[in-house]
Amino acid sequence: MVSSSDEPALYAIGQAFTSPLVSMSHVKGHLRLLHAFATLRSQIINLSERDIEDKFPWFTPHNKDKRWAWFVGLAVERFELWCRWASDRDINDINDLLQYYLPPLDVFMVWHAYMLNPGWYQEDVKRVSSLNFLQNLGLVVGTHLDTVVSCLVLDPSLSRTDGWTNATQLPFDPIKSAEVHATTIVKCPSCRIDFISPLMDSYETGYLQEKFSAKCMNSAMCPQITKSMLGTGKLAKDISANGTCEDMRDYQVYLAGTLYTSSDPYDYERARTIKEKILKSPMFYLPNGTQHRFTPLDNSPRQSTNQVLSLQKDWESVILNRVEFSKDAIQHEMSKIIPGGNGKLLLRIMSAYTDGKPWSLDLVGAVLRQGTFVEKMNDLGWTNASSLNETDATIRLQSAVTRYHAFLDLIYSSPKSFFVPTLDIDLVWHTHQLIPSKYEEDCLRFLNRFLDQ
């Protein structure tokens, strides 16, 4: 580290020197956020038996860990509702975000865990149209992280709660919402009709339960629906979705897990090549039995959106019927085509299609895993808001920032090695990831690759 009394510290990463990639104010703001998450978890796991019996649905788990997992499942459902609402808005102003669109704490907790899986997150917000809005919104949040955290931990404004309730039909307060949030909307992959499914039931077949199973009542021909089948529907949709525009980056829907590489987070040519190979299989031919052929990028056809959408829906249905709604059948066919058979690439692709959600990872699991780190930070007393501005805390966090840059320098010098960070380094690393576009830019600039976890 190079510094003087007049200038901020400069840190060495490889052959370069840089001012701090993560600010102290952001680290402190992040710790305040973790404290809020820990408080929320404590409120849920310490609910009294009387409250559970009197206020919450009969299926609310009495076991503390299971109750927290159930609550996180509800938070992920609420995150999806927020994405549907916010994706239609052009939110580029911090004041608009704070006044109207900043979600409740439980929903932000899910988004937080999502960003801490940067490989999947950065790919999804580029690849999935309904998540594109998170790119711009992430810039706003990253620039004003301290202000956002302050807003999250204070009582919400009336405009914020009213906007949320009108859009989602659920209470803003996550605990009050848990008292009434009992169902979700599921789209049948066969007939594409939405129907209401319980989140929990006595047979353990609710959407948030391991044995989820539901029957679409629209047609006797619709098969019994499982999460695996919903994932198969999502995969068939991505295989059959091919847009028509001049920019290769928007030319089609790429398969999850094919766009991101450590050297290039958005390797569009690789993703396109993989999809072209997959579409050569007769299993994935067009409804008329012919192979789909990509138009040269400089000569894209001018089909209307309606034409493209109509073809996509028919094509998706044909694929699902050919494989009899079996994800295993699709994986078996793709293993013949993708280099390495059932190797890392195919397993990464298939791991993104475990259910019908737009994201490519298990967000419930991501929040629960992150909860372990939050608990450690809380147990160490690092999240205690009253002590964050004390001299000892400032020295400790400054040391963590310094050690994080040394950690990056170590990674640069030994790119093939795997290093496990200590808790203090992990804290700063996570804080860096909460500004996704900057994190990506910094990784490529100083490490020549994108660092995913």
Q: What does residue 187 show for φ and ψ, rounded to 5 degrees?
A: -100, 125
Is residue 69's pLDDT more than 80?
Answer: yes
Confirm if 197 and 183 have CB atoms less than 8 A apart.
Answer: yes
H/E run at residue 215: strand 214-215
H/E run at residue 196: strand 194-198
- Count of C-beta atoms within a 10 Å radius of residue 295: 12
DSSP single-letter state for residue 168: H
- Count of all residues that appear for the chain in the document: 453
User: pLDDT at position 97, please?
Assistant: 93
Q: Is the pTM of this model over 0.85?
A: yes
Averaged over 322-345, what is the pLDDT? Answer: 90
Q: Residue 218: CB partners within 8 Å, gap ≥ 6?
A: 188, 191, 193, 195
Structure tokens at 221: 């021909």
- Count of C-beta atoms within a 10 Å radius of residue 355: 17
3-state secondary structure of 227: helix
Is residue 1's pLDDT more than 70?
Answer: no
Burial of residue 390, with CB atoms counted within 10 A of its CB: 0-12 exposed, 13-18 middle, 19 or more buried: exposed
Confirm if 239 and 284 have CB atoms less than 8 A apart.
Answer: yes
Is residue 72's pLDDT more than 60?
Answer: yes
The predicted-structure confidence for 35-68, as pLDDT tens digits, reads as follows 999 999 999 999 999 999 999 988 889 999 999 9
Confirm if 105 and 148 have CB atoms less than 8 A apart.
Answer: no
User: pLDDT at position 114, please?
Assistant: 98
Confirm if 190 and 222 have CB atoms less than 8 A apart.
Answer: yes
Helix intervals (H) in 279-357: 305-322, 327-335, 344-351
What letters, b where the CB count within 10 A reaches 16 and e where it falls short, cover 237-250? bbbbbbbbeeeeee
Question: Which residues are registered as beta bridge partners of 225?
Answer: 214
User: pLDDT at position 5, please?
Assistant: 43
Confirm if 252 and 275 have CB atoms less than 8 A apart.
Answer: yes
> d(Cα 38, Cα 59) in Å, to the nearest integer?
24
3-class secondary structure per residue, 2-26: ECCCCCCCEEEECCEEECCCCCHHH
The predicted-structure confidence for 80-104, as pLDDT tens digits, reads as follows 999 999 998 888 889 999 999 999 9
Q: Which amino acid is at 305?
A: T
CA dihedral in degrees (69, 74, 75, 80; nearest 10)? 130
Is residue 246's pLDDT more than 50?
Answer: no
Q: Residue 302: CB partners within 8 Å, gap ≥ 6?
A: 244
Question: Which residues are registered as beta bridge partners of 16?
Answer: 13
The predicted-structure confidence for 217-235, as pLDDT tens digits, reads as follows 888 889 999 999 999 999 9
The predicted-structure confidence for 281-293, as pLDDT tens digits, reads as follows 999 999 999 998 8
User: pLDDT at position 341, please?
Assistant: 67
CA dihedral in degrees (20, 24, 28, 31; nearest 10)? 30
3-state secondary structure of 180: helix
The predicted-structure confidence for 126-153, as pLDDT tens digits, reads as follows 999 899 999 999 999 988 999 999 999 9
Confirm if 416 and 84 have CB atoms less than 8 A apart.
Answer: no
For the chain, the structural domain boundaries read 227-351
Is residue 299's pLDDT more than 90?
Answer: no
Is residue 245's pLDDT more than 50?
Answer: no
3-state secondary structure of 185: strand
> d(Cα 284, Cα 281) in Å, to the nearest integer?
6
